[in-house]
């Protein structure tokens, strides 16, 4: 039986690759005392678009939604709530990184320390978050579903992916249109 966590696990591997690149970038910033605003833009876009809207979107809008309809053991319910809180923390920390980059570009001398701190926090966060999902939560969570429910979730994840890019850029264009 193919589990709907398959695509989620594949996404974890790509997130881990980006986090490794971010870790190297933090080391470079610490060595040179200079940040690369272009790299921060790419990292933020990756986290916001891929890790959060696409990956966490599937977790929250499909897996967690369906789990909320089940009678979860208290341990699993608590872990799911922790994961949701961690997603919120990731969004907030990423937003703070964007703000720190803007301050850096405007000449704020404290901003470089904040960039290093925030990127270090994200680099430390994602591996632990992914390990919790991979090793502690996803497999036991699947036991709450029938094969038909698992197949339906897998299909919904594929449909989510098919329309994701269109929703993402539709939102971008709408935001730009609203400013003009």
- Give the model confidence (pLDDT) of 26-52 as tens digits: 999 999 999 999 999 999 999 999 999
What is the structure's pLDDT at 58?
94
What does the domain layout of the chain look like in residue ranges? 5-171
What is the structure's pLDDT at 5?
55
Q: Are 132 and 141 in contact (CB under 8 A)?
A: no
CATH topology of domain 5-171: 1.20.120
What is the structure's pLDDT at 2?
45
What is the structure's pLDDT at 166?
86
- Mean pLDDT over the full length of the chain: 93
157: exposed, middle or buried (Cβ count in 10 Å: 0-12, 13-18, 19+)? buried
What is the structure's pLDDT at 1?
40
Q: State the residue for tokens 């803007």.
A: 102
The answer to whether residue 4 scores a pLDDT higher than 70 is no
> Considering the entire predicted model, what is its pTM?
0.89
Mean pLDDT (whole number) for 112-125: 98
- The sign one gets for the Cα dihedral 143, 59, 137, 51 is positive
| Tens digit of each residue's pLDDT (9 = 90 or more) over 48-95 | 999 999 999 999 999 999 999 999 999 999 999 999 999 999 999 999
Please name the residues in contact with 18: beta carbons below 8 A apart, sequence gap of 6 or more. 43, 46, 47, 50, 51
């Amino acid at each position: 039986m193919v589990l709907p966590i398959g695509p989620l696990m594949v996404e974890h591997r790509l997130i881990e690759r980006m986090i490794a690149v971010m870790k190297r970038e933090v080391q470079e910033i610490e060595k040179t005392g200079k940040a690369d605003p272009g790299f921060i833009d790419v990292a933020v876009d990756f986290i916001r678009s891929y890790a959060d809207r696409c990956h966490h979107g599937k977790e929250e809008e499909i897996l967690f939604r369906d789990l909320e309809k089940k009678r979860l053991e208290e341990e699993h319910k608590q872990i799911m709530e922790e994961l949701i809180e961690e997603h919120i923390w990731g969004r907030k920390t990423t937003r703070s990184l964007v703000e720190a980059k803007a301050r850096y570009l405007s000449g704020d001398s404290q901003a470089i320390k904040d960039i290093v701190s925030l990127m270090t926090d994200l680099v430390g966060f994602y591996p632990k978050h992914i390990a919790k999902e991979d090793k502690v939560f996803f497999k036991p969570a699947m036991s709450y579903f029938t094969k038909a429910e698992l197949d339906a979730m897998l299909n919904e994840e594929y449909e989510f992916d098919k329309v994701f890019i269109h929703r993402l850029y539709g939102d971008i264009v709408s935001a730009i249109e609203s400013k003009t």
